[in-house]
Amino acid sequence: MLNIIVCIKQVPMVSELPWDSNTGTLKRELAQGMMDPASRSALEAALQIKEEKGAYIYAITMGPTMAEETLHQAKALGANEGILLTDRRMAGADTFLTSHVLATCIQKECKDFNLVLCGSQTSDSETAQVGPQLAEELNIPAIGYATHIDITQNSVQAQRHVDDFFEILQMDLPGLITIDRSSYKPRYLALEGVEKAFQNPNMKIIDAGQLGLDKSFSALKDSPTKIVDVYSPTTRIENRVLKGAVKKVVDQLFDEYGKVISSAMGKDLKTHEHDRI
């Protein structure tokens, strides 16, 4: 039987959260959490493999204690076991240390895995770094942004769209794949699944000490990258009227906004004559 690990992240249900300027982290506890959409797609990919080939699915998340809700949801959808990595010393981890902690857990709790699935990028930070970094930590090959996968006992074939190309890639197992969030439409959560998940929790809650991390470990302090600022971009709409002779106005339009127009039209407007107008 295949052993599949799905890395899941709980993200805030709101688009804007207060930022803690002292720690450089978002105050996630102020918002209700949900399973990240790309994580749901990765879980759906694992569930389809389970239905077709047979598999044991570990759902792993790293976060505050409230992230356990997301693991119960994963189990209600069909995951076999949930693992929550939670500890104040893990709080504030950047992608590098997040990948390190996840890899430490995988090597300790489910070392006989065949495949690791992650969402391509999460809706709160969108770095797309944890999947590839986790593969490096585990010393296994990786494929990113897959839209469909076919798996055998020893290898996996993945399809993906990159720029204007369609690629089919083959990879030996064990390996890691990040699933594009536009693929693998998640199934609905059935009430029966929720009931079974709570009747048979099969949940592990693991702290830094149980993982064997050094007593001096502090994710916030040890993370090599720091967030300097978090802000929402502001948009501004202005109306402008160009006056004058037609040719003069068109020349001015192309001079000042040519790049924007070219991008919208998908053409290089410099190659198009407009002085006949």
The 3-class SS string of 160-207 reads EEECCEEEEEEEECCEEEEECCCCCCCCCCCHHHHHHHHHCCCEEEEC
Chain-wide mean pLDDT for the chain? 84
pLDDT in tens, 210-241: 989 888 888 888 788 877 776 666 777 778 88
The whole-number pLDDT of residue 112 equals 92
Sorting pLDDT into bands at 50, 70 and 90, what band is 26? low
Interval 149-165: pLDDT, tens? 999 879 999 999 988 88
Q: Is residue 266 classed exposed, middle or buried when 0-12, 13-18 and 19+ CB atoms within 10 A define those classes? A: exposed
Amino acid at 5: I
Which residue did the predictor score with more confidence, 148 or 163? 148
What's the pLDDT at 19? 56
Predicted local distance difference test score (pLDDT) of residue 28: 57
Provide the residue ranges of all domains of the chain, joining segments of one domain with +: 2-222, 238-277
Specify the pLDDT at position 138: 96
pLDDT given at position 84: 95
Q: Given pLDDT bands bounded at 50, 70 and 90, which one contains residue 277?
A: very low
Give the pLDDT score at 276. 46
Q: What percent of the chain has pLDDT over 90?
A: 45
Q: pLDDT at position 200, please?
A: 75
Bigger pLDDT: 266 vs 179: 179
Choosing among 2.40.50.660, 3.40.50.300, 3.40.630.30, 3.40.50.620, the CATH entry for 2-222 is 3.40.50.620
pLDDT at 273 over 60: no
pLDDT at 146: 95
Residue type, 104: T
Average pLDDT over residues 170-192: 90
Task: Name the CA radius of gyration of the chain, rounded.
Answer: 23
pLDDT band with cut points at 50, 70 and 90 for residue 61: very high
Where are any strands of DSSP class E within the chain?
2-7, 10-12, 19-20, 25-26, 33-35, 55-62, 81-85, 115-119, 142-146, 148-151, 155-162, 165-172, 175-179, 203-206
pLDDT at 209 over 50: yes
User: What pLDDT score does 30 carry?
Assistant: 58
- Identify the pLDDT of residue 155: 95
